[in-house]
Structures are given as C-alpha cells and as structure tokens.
C-alpha cells in the first residue's frame, strides 16, 4: 500500500472495470446475432459467512481503516453482469467470498488447522452500475484440502438470487481432480475459469482477470424503468 491509499486503489479498479465495457457496446449494437452462453450454476458450498465481517466493501485486502493488508498475491477481479442477449444488468448485487491464503473461510466452521489470516475480509459486495460492471480487489485464490483454487460468487436482484456459482483458475493443473468441478461437463467447467495475468509495471506481482457473469434470467424493470435492488436471502431464488 506504500504511496497509494485505499481510495486510490478502489478508484483505479472501478476505472479498470469500466474499460471492459467496449465489448458490451458491440453486443448491444446488434453486431452479435447469437446469444451468450449462460454462466453455469454451482452450489453455494458450506462456508457462506454465518457472520458478516466488520467491513463488506469490495476491497477484501483491508479491514475498515486497518493498515495491515491480508497475505497473498493481490488480484484485481472484475467484469460485467450481462443478460444472454449481452445487455448489461444494472443494480445487481455481486457477493464474493473465498478462503484466505491459509485455506480458511470467515465462517465459524471454516478455519483450517493453521488458523485464519485475521486481516483478510473474506467476503465483499459490489453494486453494478449502468454498464453492469463489477470490481473486487482481493487475493488470488489458493488450493486447500481437495479443492482447487476458486471464488464463490452470487448475483442477486430484487431480493432474488439469480446466480450462485464458483469460478476457478484457468491455469491450475488440478481442476480436473477437484470434486466440484469434476462434476461438471467439460464445456461448463471451461466457462467457469478466469484467466489472470500479471499487472504490467506492478513491482509486487499483482494479477488481474476479467470474468463476465451471464444470467439465464434477468430482473424485471418497473414501467418507469427503475429497478429496486437488494441482496437476496440465502436460498431465495
């Protein structure tokens, strides 16, 4: 964090996410006739937070105004929420939760034998804008137990959970041995992998990856074009 404060990081991330919208403009222009493939749904898993952290913003590396960041490779994870027709979904709540560098979740029963990284937020939220963009600053996921590295992601709108899934790392060699990913067909598994690349010019090895979340069903707008958003309760579909 030397020389750059947290607000600068979040602002830079939001700009990075916004820069991903050029493809979305093309989709809306009608240049793409075929529908997008829906992001496959995957189970929530047992470690959705049973008690939310003190901080639930989109920067999982820093808790509130603490100065000690979480341990791990800094990862900028961004993308868009789209309909199958390529239209951006605004006002959608994205939830992201994952294990820390030690393989522990913030769930009461989610700690492994090495304990937890108490500086890792473990869970964050983001509300999409008019272009459907989202952004998280977190750590690159790590393997633990029999699980390959992965993010848990949920998308909610109007009090309904529209998508629950798990996103793995494209370059991880053990994805085929992961019990959750192994249960998917190869096409679905391939559509749940994000590619991370090193951030050019980063002196601390930061990585960045983009992943578009394509919803099979979309929220309905009111007659005046407004949408009332909200994070769904667990199990709400």
Structural domains counted in the chain: 1
**pLDDT for 58:** 98
Domain assignment present for 229: no
Domain assignment present for 225: no
CA dist., res. 10 & res. 109, Å (int): 30
**What is the rounded average pLDDT of the residues 26-46?**
77
Domain assignment present for 25: yes
**CATH number of the structural domain spanning residue 97:** 2.60.130.10
Tens-place pLDDT, residues 177-225:
999 999 999 999 999 999 999 999 999 999 999 999 999 876 655 555 4
Domain assignment present for 237: no
Domain assignment present for 221: no
- Asked whether 78 and 22 are in contact (CB, 8 A), the reply is no
Q: Which domain holds residue 30?
A: 6-215
CA dist., res. 158 & res. 229, Å (int): 4
Least confident range from 15-29, 83-97, 145-159, 203-217: namely 15-29
**pLDDT for 159:** 84
Tens-place pLDDT, residues 161-181:
999 999 999 999 999 999 999
Domain assignment present for 50: yes
Helix (H, G, I), strand (E, B) or coil at 172: coil
Q: Residue 93, Cα to own-chain centre: how many angstroms?
A: 11
Domain assignment present for 70: yes
Domain assignment present for 220: no
**pLDDT for 233:** 57
């Amino acid at each position: 964090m030397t020389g750059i404060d947290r607000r600068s990081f979040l602002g830079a991330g939001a700009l990075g996410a916004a820069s991903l919208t050029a493809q979305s403009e093309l989709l809306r222009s009608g240049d793409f006739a075929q529908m997008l493939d829906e992001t496959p749904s995957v189970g929530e898993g047992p470690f959705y937070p049973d008690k939310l952290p003190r901080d639930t913003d989109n920067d999982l590396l820093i808790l509130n105004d603490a100065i000690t960041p979480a341990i791990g490779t800094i990862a900028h994870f961004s993308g868009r929420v789209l309909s199958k027709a390529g239209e951006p979904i605004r006002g959608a709540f994205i939830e992201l939760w994952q294990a820390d560098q030690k393989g522990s979740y913030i769930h009461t029963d989610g700690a492994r034998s090495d304990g937890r990284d108490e500086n890792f937020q473990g869970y964050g939220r983001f509300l999409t804008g008019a272009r459907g963009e989202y952004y998280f600053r977190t750590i690159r996921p790590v393997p633990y137990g029999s699980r390959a590295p992965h993010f848990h992601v949920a998308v909610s709108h109007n009090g309904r959970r529209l998508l629950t899934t798990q996103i793995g790392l494209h370059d991880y060699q053990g994805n085929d041995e992961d019990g959750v990913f192994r249960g998917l067909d190869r096409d679905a598994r391939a559509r749940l992998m994000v590619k991370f690349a090193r951030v050019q010019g980063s002196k601390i090895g930061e990585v960045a990856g983009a992943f578009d979340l394509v919803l099979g069903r979309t929220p309905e707008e009111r007659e005046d074009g407004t949408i009332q958003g909200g994070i769904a309760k667990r199990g709400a579909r």
